[in-house]
Structure 1
Amino acid sequence: MDISFTNLKDQIFLAITQYGGKILLALIVFIIGRKVIAKASQVLGSKMNKSNFDKDVQPFLISLVSVALNIMLLLSCAGILGIQTTSFVAVLGAAGLAVGLALQGSLSNFAGGVLILIFKPYKVGDLISAQGFTGTVESVQIFNTILVTPDNKTLILPNGALATSAITNISGKGTIRVDMVFAVGNQNSLASVKKAFTNAVKLCPTALQNMEHDILLNSMTENALKFDVRVWTNSENYWATYYGVTELVYEHLKKEGIEAPKIHLNLHQLS
């Protein structure tokens, strides 16, 4: 009995002598590592705030960095204890590959959402055209972007496709030019037609009067004069300006006595 107890004490002493230093070192590395990771996460959050990073993406990125650093810390501690991490990393990599292949589309949309939130090719409230659709951005989610069309339909577009395709941010500059084409009869005076268009633009409440608008003769046909009328407005007033100017043009053309193009019919009598 005494011999067995002596052997047990010898084994415990040997284990402490052989592994005690490693355990202590691993514990110290873990404690210090956790403090360093917490400080790094705090510094990262502070840098993001100073760089005007999107408030929605900040927690996600900080959590992602924190998880990655904690995994590296655990693997380092396991290596200090003498635990073989090669097989563990291989299994983890294989599992990650399998999950990635199974969720390939979702991961693509996830990555696209992160890129959109970081680089901001558009933001909530912008009028954009992408993937053959045009609408106002209602929300930018991690997997999808929600658009509302001018006729109040909701479009859900995957971020993966948006992040890798051409996007036209129609309202990104804050002001936008509304391009319209009108036709009048070629029997009308050029000066009177331009006067009617000019007065219509001046009376449009959403047209920006501090910017230069264009009224240009586009083309002439045998019975019509076609004019380009280009009016500047704030982005959110695009459609109000388009329809407002159209109505005012009609009223002022009528007021000035401007006639519409006349249709000429050529009749040939067959003998």
Structure 2
Amino acid sequence: MEENLNMFSAENIEMYINDYAIPWGINIAMAIVIYVVGRFVVGMILSVFRRLMAKSKYDEMLINFLESIISAILMLFVIVASLNELGVDTTSLVAIVGAAGLAIGLSLQDSLKNFAAGVMLLVFKPFKAGNFIEAAGTMGTVQKIGIFHSTMTSVDNKEITIPNGNIYNGNITNYSAKDTRRADMTFGIGYDDDLLKAKRILIEMLEADERVHAKPAPLVGVSELGDSSVNFTVRPWCNASDFLKLKLDFTEQVKLRFDQEGISIPYPQMDVHFFKEADNTSNKDA
């Protein structure tokens, strides 16, 4: 009984206060201050980051994703600093977090590859939503660029989902990147037809089409003396939005105009010549 009373004596209480309560109270208070100030500083950093990214006109999805990653990393440092102030051994905590990150990374290699490719697509912007592209062996209009995969709509209105890694690691052809395009067409006429007349008709048709640009000037010339036809290469420039319609319309108009002018578009053909040899056998018998 006397020992219990001695534990609550003035000297022991003062010792407990000086040795435990005050140091622990200071540590707890400092840990709280570090956490509160740290959160405030992280918020300021994220605010500056978002303003800079917005001025650079990066995709909103990329900004939000990078902001969440930076926030998680910075808050991890804040929490570690707070726990360290409380005397917690944070070395083992950091080691556990690192080992967990390594294990997750190894199990999600393909997903991380697609994620990295998605970030690169959003940063460098080889294409954007609404562009007509050819990538990963697929051609279509881009609907959405995601972090892990992108969505396209084919010309026959099928939705196609492609992993970003497949897109970024191959050739990307963006047909919508430029305002103008060149339509490459080939037309063949017969060897007996008037070559200069056919060339003049093609030039007149190009000059009469308002969709064809005067500069750069369209190219019309004989490109090949083929097996069954003399082939003209016709290369007019036009607005990218007019490309397909111009190519279809012009091809149809050439056929109709050549028919009117009596210029033939020959079928693939082959001339076979037979030579009759003298019958030497009958001469010998005679």
Q: Same fold (TM over 0.5)?
A: yes
Structure 1 runs of 4+ aligned residues shifted over 4 Å read: 203-206
Name the larger-Rg structure: 2
2:246 aligned with 1:241? yes
Equivalent position SS for 1:16: helix
What is the aligned partner in structure 2 of residue 268 from structure 1? Answer: 274
Q: Aligned pair in 2 of structure 1 residues 137, 249: CA closer, same or farther (>3 Å)?
A: same
Give the drift of 1:122.
Answer: 0.9
Paired residues for 1:190-229 under 5 Å: 190-204=195-209, 206-209=211-214, 211-221=216-226, 223-229=228-234
Find the aligned partners of 2:219 and 2:189 in 1 and give their Cα distance. 17
Give the drift of 1:203.
Answer: 4.6
Equivalent position SS for 2:144: strand
Paired residues for 1:72-91 under 5 Å: 72-91=77-96
More deviation, 46-55/147-156: 147-156
Find 1:254's aligned residue among 255, 259, 262.
Answer: 259
What is the aligned partner in structure 2 of residue 3 from structure 1? Answer: 6
More deviation, 17-26/30-39: 17-26
TM-score by length of 2: 0.85
Contact 1:197 1:252 in 2 (8 A): no
Equivalent position SS for 1:165: coil
Equivalent position SS for 1:150: coil
Q: Aligned pair in 2 of structure 1 residues 42, 222: CA closer, same or farther (>3 Å)?
A: closer
Find the aligned partners of 1:211 and 1:72 in 2 and give their Cα distance. 59
What is the aligned partner in structure 1 of residue 283 from structure 2? Answer: none
What is the aligned partner in structure 2 of residue 129 from structure 1? Answer: 134
Find the aligned partners of 2:212 and 2:24 in 1 and give their Cα distance. 80
2:161 aligned with 1:156? yes
Q: Aligned pair in 2 of structure 1 residues 208, 146: CA closer, same or farther (>3 Å)?
A: farther
Find 1:115's aligned residue among 105, 114, 120.
Answer: 120
Find the aligned partners of 1:92 and 1:264 in 2 and give their Cα distance. 76
1:33-53 per-position Cα deviation (integer Å, ceiling 9, x unaligned): 111111111111111111111
Find the aligned partners of 1:9 and 1:84 in 2 and give their Cα distance. 28
Give the drift of 1:269.
Answer: 5.0
Equivalent AA in structure 1 for residue 162 of structure 2: L
What stretches of structure 2 of length at least 5 have no aligned partner? 278-286
Find 2:236's aligned residue among 214, 231, 246.
Answer: 231
Identity of aligned residues (%): 32
Give the drift of 1:209.
Answer: 4.8
1:154-213 per-position Cα deviation (integer Å, ceiling 9, x unaligned): 322110222232222232122221211111112222322122222333454544455422
Find the aligned partners of 2:203 and 2:228 in 1 and give their Cα distance. 23
Give the drift of 1:237.
Answer: 3.2
Equivalent position SS for 2:220: strand
Q: Aligned pair in 2 of structure 1 residues 237, 46: CA closer, same or farther (>3 Å)?
A: same
What is the aligned partner in structure 2 of residue 21 from structure 1? Answer: 26
Q: Aligned pair in 2 of structure 1 residues 13, 228: CA closer, same or farther (>3 Å)?
A: same
2:143 aligned with 1:138? yes
More deviation, 200-209/148-157: 200-209
More deviation, 101-110/114-123: 101-110
More deviation, 44-53/143-152: 143-152
What stretches of structure 1 of length at least 5 have no aligned partner? none
What is the aligned partner in structure 2 of residue 183 from structure 1? Answer: 188
Equivalent AA in structure 2 for residue 150 of structure 1: V
Find the aligned partners of 2:221 and 2:152 in 1 and give their Cα distance. 34
More deviation, 6-15/108-117: 6-15
